[in-house]
Structure 1
Amino acid sequence: MSVKVESLAPTSGQLSINIQLSATVNVTAFSARQKVTGFVADEISTQMHAAEPTLIVGERICWRVPVILSMPPSGDRGEVGTIDVDVETGQLQITPTLVQEIERRAEYLALHSA
């Protein structure tokens, strides 16, 4: 598992990071991936699925789940976006704009990938 800390880091010199964090992880990475796959298949396209999540530590702790476009018979074409899943509540962080961006990227990728 990897953890991404979203903040501005210095471009040079010494960097020291001490992190102490406490949260109740009620949603596993596997469960977050399943939730995103279910959402995109039901609401966007059955030709999309979720990939391996990354734990993101920010204002909220969430799983950032990549959304992948897959087209038969060639298989996965690439990432078309990400959906965050709250580790405590399991709520998907989705907006109409996010869904439109995923759809737009998927359409572009479908037309421009070989």
Structure 2
Amino acid sequence: MATPPINLNADPLDATVRRRLQMILGPIEVVTVLGPIAYDRTNHLCRMLRLAPGLGEVAITIPAATPIGDAFSISSPSTSWPRLVFTDSVIEHPSGHAAGLPAGALHFFVAAAGVGVLSGFTQL
């Protein structure tokens, strides 16, 4: 029997969904974001950044010196969405997007020195 698809847009993230993600990806630590932040690999590497509700647009700054291979995900409720800022570098996305949608999920990966790749539910 097939299991239903994982809903990363659930608000809040359902315990069953989290358990299924952990089975696929390994341990997932959710970090609640209460306002603009700068990526810090000690606190954010391979974590799910969960935006608190009601924040509107939230800037998440990724320093240019972020090591290749670093990655994190972002989950947004319906009243908050992230805008990624990669200092002195570029974010690659097929449509040039640098922000997430409300009630969406993103993944960010540093693919090369100064190049970050954004995927998921995005907007301009």
Q: Where is the strand percentage greater, Structure 1 or Structure 2?
A: 2
TM-score exceeds 0.5:
no
Instruction: Answer with 1 or 2: which has the greater Rg.
Output: 1
TM-score by length of 2: 0.25
